[in-house]
Structure 1
């Protein structure tokens, strides 16, 4: 009789503890340019026996502000160092989890079949080479726009172009504007251009024209325990490495 009662209490305890101990989905806030890659990595994470991660994409600037304001996030992946530094200085990252993982390239794109001659050098008259506006991330705020402005300043193009810039909320929105022909020219990442069948790459910006494009990843302060396991999967698994390579990201050395 006592053994039966013991088994009943044990089953009840497991029933109560089960939902508490069950792994919860990792909440990931990531730069919009990582959308396709992290969606695929999320599927591989599921295949490894974990719950489907909760993936939220936007401009790194917007996500950093949300995390600062207390939005529930476990992992932050930024498209530049500036917004990761922003959270780091405010004590919003778990110590020792930050790593610069990926690199990218900045390119000029046009709607498919609408290329025009361009030379990526000082002295070239970009403003006179086309009519209409140039779409990119909001300069000074969104990472893609920050890199684009720096490149145009270093090439001597900014003053003639600054009043023709359409600054978007994130880089994928800039891509969409060019795809629809609303902007005859755009500046996005090479990985964004790679996933679109509606744009052509007009030219690439040389690395020296802007700061290196770096994607740091980190666990957010107060993150769930599985956040670090997800970061290890993203950083070290062969599945993640193959997916990042597929979409054109470069892996940075630790």
Structure 2
């Protein structure tokens, strides 16, 4: 996403009346990286940022129901489409990509190839498979699609422990409450007490695309932050956290 800039973020922030809080609704998987982006933005422009993290589905519904926000960053273009259909976006674009992985509790789990031959039910050994809500949250939807395409869903469906968002699923595995989980690679990298044991083939699920939008209620500070998301400092931060930056 490279939007046409009316002026630089620094210039916008320097104009009288442009400084102020920016409210961002963002997919839970973005927390570590986006917190850094917001800190860099605040240091550079003087604008503070309040970020609400949750599943993209919940955030989209809140925005549609009237929750005040300047920016929405969704882990699914489908949920962004819903916000756009409601007439609440001024500008949107694809921002990032990610990878879907299988994680295990602890730091010494052995890697396994993920394919239609993977004995995922056997690996669970009576435990639970932590996933975000499989019918609503993007990480859960991608995970279910991958398992279905690989012919593994029926064998583990009864053992899936669903969470409100992908970070909650990550927490279940990190705490040892579930032996395995399906999350994004960037989530696994943010947690020391899990190990990536396998990566799902990219063609087993829809492409993971994070879409960002400037919402209709945003002011100049919101515009500045939206533009900053595709700037060089933000790109470097996202890449450092393992995201794939969309050109």
**1:116–1:130 CA contact under 8 A, matched in 2:** no
**CA shift for structure 1 position 124:** 2.8
1:49 aligns with 2:45: yes
1:121 aligns with 2:115: yes
**1:120–1:203 CA contact under 8 A, matched in 2:** yes
**1:60–1:143 CA contact under 8 A, matched in 2:** yes
TM-score (norm 2): 0.90
TM-score (norm 1): 0.88
| Residue in 2 that maps onto 1:135 | 130
| Residue in 1 that maps onto 2:219 | 224
Look up the SS of the partner of 2:230 in the other structure: helix
| Residue in 1 that maps onto 2:193 | 198
Alignment of 1:125-204 (within 5 A): 125-131=119-125, 132-204=127-199
Instruction: Identify if the C-alpha distance between structure 1 residues 127 and 112 changes in structure 2 by more than 3 Å, giving closer, same or farther.
Output: same
| Residue in 1 that maps onto 2:85 | 89
Larger Rg: 1
| Residue in 1 that maps onto 2:237 | 243
Q: Quick one: which of 70, 73, 91 aligns to 2:66?
A: 70
**CA shift for structure 1 position 116:** 5.0
**CA shift for structure 1 position 21:** 2.8
**1:135–1:174 CA contact under 8 A, matched in 2:** yes
Structure 1: gaps of 5 or more residues:
1-19
CA distance in 1, matches of 2:188, 2:111: 18
Look up the SS of the partner of 1:167 in the other structure: strand
**2:18–2:220 CA contact under 8 A, matched in 1:** no
**CA shift for structure 1 position 129:** 2.6
Give the number of the structure with larger relative contact order, counting CA–CA contacts within 8 Å between residues 6 or more apart.
Answer: 2
Deviates more, 1:147-156 or 1:108-117: 108-117
**CA shift for structure 1 position 22:** 5.7
**CA shift for structure 1 position 117:** 6.1
**CA shift for structure 1 position 221:** 1.7
| Residue in 1 that maps onto 2:4 | none
| Residue in 1 that maps onto 2:57 | 61
**1:104–1:249 CA contact under 8 A, matched in 2:** yes
**1:78–1:216 CA contact under 8 A, matched in 2:** yes
CA distance in 2, matches of 1:152, 1:22: 47
| Deviations 1:33-70 (CA, angstroms, capped at 9, x unpaired) | 01011110111111112221011100000100100110
Q: Root-mean-square deviation (CA), in Å?
A: 1.4
